Structure 1
Amino acid sequence: MSSKLIPSNPADVMVIRNVTPNIATFSVPFSRFGTVKIGGRGTLVKLSSGDLAVFSPVALTDDARAKVDEMGGNVAYIVALDIEHHIFISEWAKAFPSAKLVGPEGLPQKRAKQHAEGNDPKIGDEKFAVVFTKAGKRDIRIGEDFDADFDYEYVDGHGNRELVFLYRPDRTLIEADLMFNLPAREQYSRVPEAERPASNLTGRTFEGLNNPHGGENKWMKRFNWYVVAKDRASFNDSVQLIDGWDFDTLIPCHGDVLEGNAKEVFHKTFEWHLQGKKL
């Protein structure tokens, strides 16, 4: 049930801020296994056309809706960044019924099965307008106004089937599980200390494996090389393409936003994949 994966009081703990005038983030607490604090984040982007695109949306609280209205009001695209970040798609699609839904292969089937089982009221039967597949993935287009502002890559070699986007006007990379930036400070900043999950060895270990800032960062490199990349050749090809994009900010779903030095950190984190082999 999705209710076990999301905050019971999202309005009380959500952090809403503008990373740039055209980009707002909605950051919330989220833990795996009750101890691994990884956080969650949705991202709202204003296109040059004036329409909006939301990526991996979180709960549409009153404050979140107010931010949407402040930025223009018309959500034209709702994007699931991978097969895991989709719980609130139905909520946003109901609020913005003309929005085009975008996601990776496997997700429509996963949601259809969950909806048919009827065990999760948050999962609807909305139809996806654009579904990325491994075959011909770079020929798939989302929309004329969307494509005017974004480059994108389907990282099918990732276990969660990642979609990664570059918002060119603000040189900002938007992704879900391709790269974490733990610890999740911002996402837990409104949670009272006494209510935060206690860290244990598992939590501290996972946090260390997904903190890209220490030295040579070999543990994160090993984690990506041996665990994250399911089809390493395809994963390497995708990472090499993304590394060629021009960005200085990176917005992940898990952990803090990287601002100013994102390209440098990305390049260091995926060094082995960029070289095509482990040193």
Structure 2
Amino acid sequence: MLEEFGAEIWTAAGSDVTAALGFHYPTRMAVIRLTNGDLFIWSPIALTDRLREEVDSLGRVRHLVAPNSLHHLFIGDWKRAYPDAYLYAAPGLREKRRDIDFDHDLANAPPPLWLGQIDQALIPGNVITTEIVFFHAKSGSVLFTDLLQQLPPNWFSGWRAVIAKWDLMVASEPSVPRKFRLAFTDRNAARAAIRQVLSWPAEKVLMAHGAPVSEGAGALLRRAFRWLNID
């Protein structure tokens, strides 16, 4: 289930999840092993016995990260499985999931426990969700949750396929869906945050909803955010 994506980073695809209006999405998580052997779990998918066994073989699960307020379905299960792990909430998630006792809130700067190994940028001003984009320096991987997506062209059918095409969810390369573009209320703040993302020496891109990208990451990201008119 776990596939090595680069130095000290693995990815796993999970079962589909259904969102509003019956739209279903594939899921993907990432596991990053820090220099002290602790594991950073990004956007955890449904926890199975097999996945838990493979994760445990890599190290100690220490950080459970919900990178935006939409990716929280399985975070409680992981916390119950790993009660000693720290639980991190993206902005807005504490209010949405009052049944979960989060340990820390994600911000624009990385906490000391992964400082220098994983960088992060808070992308503000979106009414749908505030996403934290991460960069794993050792593998050169940028991790996007919902702000960058690419589903197979035949993933949806009927009227959902029409909407998905308009929304750029099934574009020819990973793109920022139109609904997220329209949901930015402060594009100047978004530009500043994306400039930080574009400054990273990206080699690869991981998306929760899309196949991983292993080459041409920097140029891809510049094309994906061209609509923001970043200098």
TM-score (norm 1): 0.73
Deviations 1:85-129 (CA, angstroms, capped at 9, x unpaired): 0111111111222211112222111101xx3xxxxxxxxx32x22
Deviations 1:33-79 (CA, angstroms, capped at 9, x unpaired): 5764431111111112211000110111111112212212x111110
Q: Is the 8 A contact 2:31 2:42 kept in 1?
A: yes
Given the superposition, is the C-alpha separation of residues 225 and 199 from structure 1 closer, same or farther in structure 2, using an over 3 Å criterion? closer
Higher-Rg member (1/2): 1
Which of 1 and 2 has higher RCO (CA within 8 Å, sep 6+)?
Answer: 1
Q: 1:222 and 1:253 mapped to 2: Cα distance?
A: 14
Q: Is 1:203 matched with 2:158?
A: no
- Output the amino acid matched with 1:169: K
Spell out the pairing of 1:8-27 with structure 2 (5 A cutoff).
15-27=1-13
Query: Which residue matches 1:155?
Result: 123
Q: Considering fraction of residues, name the structure with more helix.
A: 1
Q: 1:41 aligns with which of 10, 16, 28?
A: 28
Q: 1:49 and 1:34 mapped to 2: Cα distance?
A: 43
Q: Is 1:70 matched with 2:57?
A: yes
Q: Is the 8 A contact 1:212 1:265 kept in 2?
A: no
Q: Give 1:225 shift.
A: 7.2
Q: Secondary structure at the match of 2:160?
A: helix
Query: Which residue matches 2:150?
Result: 181
Deviations 1:219-269 (CA, angstroms, capped at 9, x unpaired): x56826742423222111111110110111111111111111222111101
Q: 1:42 and 1:269 mapped to 2: Cα distance?
A: 21
Query: Which residue matches 2:84?
Result: 98
Q: Give 1:205 shift.
A: 3.7
- Output the amino acid matched with 1:237: A
CA RMSD in angstroms comes to 2.6
Given the superposition, is the C-alpha separation of residues 61 and 48 from structure 1 closer, same or farther in structure 2, using an over 3 Å criterion? same
**Which residues of structure 1 form unaligned runs of 5+?**
1-14, 116-124, 186-196
Q: Secondary structure at the match of 1:259?
A: coil
TM-score (norm 2): 0.87
Query: How high is the sequence identity, in percent, across the aligned residues?
Result: 23
Q: How many residues align?
A: 228
Q: Considering fraction of residues, name the structure with more strand.
A: 2
Question: Bigger shift: 265-274 or 169-178?
Answer: 265-274
Q: 1:36 and 1:166 mapped to 2: Cα distance?
A: 28
- Output the amino acid matched with 2:52: R
**Which residues of structure 2 form unaligned runs of 5+?**
none
- Output the amino acid matched with 1:44: V
- Output the amino acid matched with 1:250: V
Query: Which residue matches 1:262?
Result: 217
Q: Is 1:60 matched with 2:47?
A: yes
